[in-house]
């Protein structure tokens, strides 16, 4: 999955850092689990990746796969950085 979005400065037509960009390689395993195979992203803003499952009673469980905390808005001008592989944590 590749995403490019306008940052708040650009959306308002103001001068500021360039677009928000990230690429994720996400795989759904035969057992239904989701795994982040890797990717790359700028280190601003924060990116969080979650999986959602529903049990037989309709209860939804949210599982964080990876959170990449933001660094600085200036990082929008820098190249994307690697995102390591991750599986959901219990």
Using the predicted structure, report yes or no on whether residue 56 has a pLDDT greater than 90.
yes
Determine the pLDDT at residue 13: 61
Q: What is the pLDDT of residues 10-51, one digit of tens each?
A: 656 655 656 788 898 988 888 877 788 989 998 888 888 888
Please give the pLDDT value at position 33: 73
Sign of CA dihedral 23, 53, 88, 70: positive
What CA–CA distance (Å, rounded) separates 15 from 12? 9
Cut 0.85: pTM above it: no
């Amino acid at each position: 999955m590749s995403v490019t979005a306008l940052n708040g400065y650009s959306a308002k037509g103001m001068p500021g850092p360039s677009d928000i960009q990230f690429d994720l390689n996400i795989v759904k395993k035969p057992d239904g689990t989701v795994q982040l195979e890797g990717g790359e992203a700028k280190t601003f803003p924060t990116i969080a990746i979650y999986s959602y499952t529903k049990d037989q009673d309709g209860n939804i469980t949210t599982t964080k796969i990876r959170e990449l905390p933001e660094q600085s808005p200036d990082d929008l001008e820098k190249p994307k950085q690697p995102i390591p592989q991750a599986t959901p944590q219990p």
